[in-house]
Each structure stands twice: as structure tokens, then as C-alpha cells.
């Protein structure tokens, strides 16, 4: 294995690590199961007419008058509204309809009659305060409006540099508390972008570099990870979220690299044995499937993440490429043109029991949903471009979630399986979007340059 040092990456990710780890709930660390709440009985907020419960999230109140706290209080409320709206477990009442309702004077003095009048079933209020050591303290309550009962109460302290992360944490914990759902507010995306408009060196052609970027799930905090001024594509998060494996042409041909983004180090597990591209992590993070031409034609291989124990799992004169693992790690879906055009197939991780899934003309980039869903998303050519289709293994049926708006490619599931990120040209340039697995709730994530190959952190 080759190790390269990248001080810029290290610096970048120190900053990220700060945002990602320093905000501490006063609850126990999430890795240990939370103890039962002594002061709260778990109450699920419902809507009396059987609709999704209606939630209101007014601006948080700044408990101190400094400009940072005032700005942070407003931002936390806005971001939290968006985060809760994203999962579509609740109906989020538009914020402009309650701008006239006065902010709560304290967490125990809430104008519940006004919120009831608005039709809110749940109300999230909170306060933001700068602490003497320069940190930020956020207190939050979720009330059931009908009973005026606090059903969720938390307090967080952490660095004031990234107020959005407080909102994301609150959203994830409310989803966990109310819906036993793993929200995605603290997850991240990675993708490849040509936004820097830098020219590839060592060629007389005018070619734009593509570099790897990461961002929050909602597109905030977009940061560049690679700085090698070549083609860097198909990034994919390690399951522990600490590394990104991707295809880079930094040596003049495609090869696999793993950027350990918190350590700022770089590994090259395939060590330029042949040409290698499209890495896919096994669900436990110990293995990587990838495409290689090392035996003369594109075939699929699996190796340990350190590059050892490489074994070939396809053997066909046709192209075999674009692997993705099933959530159990027992199966791999991939693309092959053994029947003529490219189609999606599934096989055991040992390469046996190959069966074809797609039937449209020209399909590619399968991505396996996490549990509890059991489905495979991929794209198929429909008319001039591509659309995302989803094969449901249980129902043995196909559904389509984009419908001819631009060309739609490279779908990637969110870790809870409820959403997909993908590339679309619907607004002209290629941009990253997210959409629900039912095709609803589309959001544009990137706006600068062209952006491709999204992958969603676990």
C-alpha cells in the first residue's frame, strides 16, 4: 500500500472533524443505547385526523444579545425546519405563517393558544446562548401543543463555528424519538465537480479537471477534498464515514485511491496493477469491489481494503463493471453488456448465480438500498437521456422515479434508504439533486460548475 501525505486535506478535515465531533449532547454518546428518560414519558405526537402531524419551528431565541447568538438562533430554527421537512415524517407548517406569533419568553412560558389556533400538533422551541468559554449552548423542547406537554428535551454545548450542526443533531434526535427513524441530517454527500475551472496539465486539449468534494446532506459546507488537477471521479464513502475511495487519473490512468479525510493521508490499495476504477465498499468496510482491466478486459474484482487478497469475480469477454453490494454483503449487483447492451445483473459475492434484473435498453449504475427496503435503484435509457428506475425484489416489480426531465444518472441511496442522490441535467448543467424513494421532494444540492457521481455517507 502506498501512503501519501496531504497537508491540505489534513487541514481541511481537522476543521471538519471539529464540526463533526465536538458538538456534544449532554446525553450519552450515541454509540451506547440511551437510558430511559426519567423525566419524560415517550409520547408520539400525532394528528387527530390521521394526517402526518403538523409541526411548527419558529426562530430559536437568543438568550444573549451578541450578534453571533442572534444570528445562530435564527439559523438553527431555519435549518431545523428544513431538516424535519426533509424526511417528510411530519408536515412542516410554512414559517412565514407564524412570524406574527411572539417568541416564547422562556421554555415554560409558551403562547400555546396561538399555536393551537395555527393548527400545530407539535412545536419545537429553543434558545441559543454563548457560553463564557466561547462555546454555544442550545436548549430545545418539543411540545405536544394539545397537552402543552414537553415530550422531548435536550441541551447541547459545542463550538459556535457551525450552528447548522446543532440543528442537524436536534432533527436526528427528534426523528429517533418520534419515529424511531435514523434521520440523515448529519450525513454527508461526496461528489466530483469541475467548478474550479482548472485545466488538466500534460495535454494539449482544453480539458477541465474534476476534483472530489464533500458537503452536508443539504448541500451546505461544500469543501474540496482532492487537489491534484486531474480527473477524480466516482467517490464513495467508507461505511464508517472516515474515508473516501475514488477513481483518480493522477498517474495518467485510472486507479483507486482512498483518502482518509480525518487523518489527511492517502492510500493506493490497487498500487497501479492494471487500471482500476469504480470502487464500492462492502457494507462492513473490510472489502472493496472494483472494475479492472488487469486481465485484458473490464472485469470485477474484490480485494481487502488494504489491497491484499485480490480475487476476480467475473469472467466474461463482455464488459463487467459498476459493482454495488447488498446490505448483507452476500450479493453484488453490477453492469454487464454480455447480452448486447449494458444491463444490470445480480450475483453472489463469490461471482456465482448470476441473474439479470433490468430489461430496458441500456441500464447502469445499480445501487442497493439499505434495509428495511429491499430494492435496487439504477438508470435506464429512456428516449434521449436516462431515468432512475427502482426494482423491488419483494414485489418483483419496477417503478420509475424520474420522468424525462434532463438526463438523470448515478443514483446513490441515503443511509436510511428513504432518499436518493443523483446527477441531473434538468436545469442545464449537470447538478446533484436529492429525491425521495417515491420520486417526491426533489432538492437541488449543487449550483456551481458541473457536478457528478454523488455518494451518500452511511
Partner 1 sequence: MNRWLSLRSAVVLLLVLGAVACGKKQPPIARPIPPPPPTSTPVTPPPEPPPPTAEPTPAPTPVTVPEDSIASRSLDEINKNSPLKPVFFALDASEIDQVGQQALTTNADLLKRYPSWQISIEGHCDERGTAEYNLALGERRAIAARNYLVSLGISADRVKTVSYGKEFPFDAGHTEDAWSKNRRAHFVVTAK
Strands (E), 205-272: 211-216, 223-224, 232-237, 243-248, 255-260, 265-267
- The three-class DSSP label of residue 134 is coil
Is 368 one of the binding residues for partner 1 (CB under 8 A)?
no
Residue 282, beta-bridge partner list: none
Q: Residue 359 CB, nearest distance to partner 1 (Å)?
A: 16
252 or 348: whose CB is closer to partner 1? 252
Residue 358 in contact with partner 1, rule: CB under 8 A:
no
Of positions 9, 129, 193, 234, contacts partner 1 by CB under 8 A = 234
Report the site for partner 1 in 312-341 (rule: CB under 8 A): 319, 321-322, 335, 337, 341
Number of amino acids touching partner 1 (CB under 8 A): 42
Residue of 231, 288, 303, 390 interacting with partner 1 (CB under 8 A): 231
DSSP string, 83-104: HHHHHTSSEE--GGGGTTSPPP
Number of CB atoms found within 10 A of residue 2's CB: 12
* Residue whose CB is less far from partner 1, 53 or 298: 298
The interface with partner 1 within residues 406-425 (CB under 8 A) comprises 407, 409-410, 423
User: Which residue in the set 27, 153, 293, 400 belongs to the binding site for partner 1 (CB under 8 A)?
Assistant: 293
Minimum distance, C-beta of residue 278 to partner 1, in the bound complex (Å): 6
Is residue 277 at the binding interface for partner 1, with CB under 8 A as the rule? yes
CA atoms of 63 and 104, how far apart (whole Å): 11
Collapsed DSSP state (helix, strand, coil) of residue 178: helix
Residue 342 found at the interface with partner 1 (CB under 8 A):
yes
Binding of residue 452 to partner 1 (CB under 8 A): yes
153: cell is 428535551
Using the minimum distance from each CB to partner 1, give the nearer residue, 166 or 452.
452
Binding of residue 298 to partner 1 (CB under 8 A): yes
- d(Cα 396, Cα 387) in Å, to the nearest integer? 19
Q: Are 75 and 60 in contact (CB under 8 A)?
A: no
Asked if omega into 184 is within 30° of 0 (cis), the reply is no
Distance from C-alpha of 156 to C-alpha of 293, rounded to nearest angstrom = 51
Closest CB to partner 1 among residues 48, 205: 205
Burial per residue of 344-380, b for 16 or more beta-carbon CB atoms within 10 angstroms, e otherwise = bbbbebebeebeebbebebbbbbbbbbeebbbbbbbb
381 lines the binding site for partner 1 (CB under 8 A): yes
Q: Is 210 in the site for partner 1 (CB under 8 A)?
A: yes
Binding site for partner 1 (CB under 8 A): 200, 203-205, 207, 210, 231, 233-234, 247, 249, 252-254, 275, 277-278, 291, 293, 296-298, 319, 321-322, 335, 337, 341-342, 362, 364-365, 379, 381, 384, 386, 407, 409-410, 423, 452-453
Amino acid at each position: 500500500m502506498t501512503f501519501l501525505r496531504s497537508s491540505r486535506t489534513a487541514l481541511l478535515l481537522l476543521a471538519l472533524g471539529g464540526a463533526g465531533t465536538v458538538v456534544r449532547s449532554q446525553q450519552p454518546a450515541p454509540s451506547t443505547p440511551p437510558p430511559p428518560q426519567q423525566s419524560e414519558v415517550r409520547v408520539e405526537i400525532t394528528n387527530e385526523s390521521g394526517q402526518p402531524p403538523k409541526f411548527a419551528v419558529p426562530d430559536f431565541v437568543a438568550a444573549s444579545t451578541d450578534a453571533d447568538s442572534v444570528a445562530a438562533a435564527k439559523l438553527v430554527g431555519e435549518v431545523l425546519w428544513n431538516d424535519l421537512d426533509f424526511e417528510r415524517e411530519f408536515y412542516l407548517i410554512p414559517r412565514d405563517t407564524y412570524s406574527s406569533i411572539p417568541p416564547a419568553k422562556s421554555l415554560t412560558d409558551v403562547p400555546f393558544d396561538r399555536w393551537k389556533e395555527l393548527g400545530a400538533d407539535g412545536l419545537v422551541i429553543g434558545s441559543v446562548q454563548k457560553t463564557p468559554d466561547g462555546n454555544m449552548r442550545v436548549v430545545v423542547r418539543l411540545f405536544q401543543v394539545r397537552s402543552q406537554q414537553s415530550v422531548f428535551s435536550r441541551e447541547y454545548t459545542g463550538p459556535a463555528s457551525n450552528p447548522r450542526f446543532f440543528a442537524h443533531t436536534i432533527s436526528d434526535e427528534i426523528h429517533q424519538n418520534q419515529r424511531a427513524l435514523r434521520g440523515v441530517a448529519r450525513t454527508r454527500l461526496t461528489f466530483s465537480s469541475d467548478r474550479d475551472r482548472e485545466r488538466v496539465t500534460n495535454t494539449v486539449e482544453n480539458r477541465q479537471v474534476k476534483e472530489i468534494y464533500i458537503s452536508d446532506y443539504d448541500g451546505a459546507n461544500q469543501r474540496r477534498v482532492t487537489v491534484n488537477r486531474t480527473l477524480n471521479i466516482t467517490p464513495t464513502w467508507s461505511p464508517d464515514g472516515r474515508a473516501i475511495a475514488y477513481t483518480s487519473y493522477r498517474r495518467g490512468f485510472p486507479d483507486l485511491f482512498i483518502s482518509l479525510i480525518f487523518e489527511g493521508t492517502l492510500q493506493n490499495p490497487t498500487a497501479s496493477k492494471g487500471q482500476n476504477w469504480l470502487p464500492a465498499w462492502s457494507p462492513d468496510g473490510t472489502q472493496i469491489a472494483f472494475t479492472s482491466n488487469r486481465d485484458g478486459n473490464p472485469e470485477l474484482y474484490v480485494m481487502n481494503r488494504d489491497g491484499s487478497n485480490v480475487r476476480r469475480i467475473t469472467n466474461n469477454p463482455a464488459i463487467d463493471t459498476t459493482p454495488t453490494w447488498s446490505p448483507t454483503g452476500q450479493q453484488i449487483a453490477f453492469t454487464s453488456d454480455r447480452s448486447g447492451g449494458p444491463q444490470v445483473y445480480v450475483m453472489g459475492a463469490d461471482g456465482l448465480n448470476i441473474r439479470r434484473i433490468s430489461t430496458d435498453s441500456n441500464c447502469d449504475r445499480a445501487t442497493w438500498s439499505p434495509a428495511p427496503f429491499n430494492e435496487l435503484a439504477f438508470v435506464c435509457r429512456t428516449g434521449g437521456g436516462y431515468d432512475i428506475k427502482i426494482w423491488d425484489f419483494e414485489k418483483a416489480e419496477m417503478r420509475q422515479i424520474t420522468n424525462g426531465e434532463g438526463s438523470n444518472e448515478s443514483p446513490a441511496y441515503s443511509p436510511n434508504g428513504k432518499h436518493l442522490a443523483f446527477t441531473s441535467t434538468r436545469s442545464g448543467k449537470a447538478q446533484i439533486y436529492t429525491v425521495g424513494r417515491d420520486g417526491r421532494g426533489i432538492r437541488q444540492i449543487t449550483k456551481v460548475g458541473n457536478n457528478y457521481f454523488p455518494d451518500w455517507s452511511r
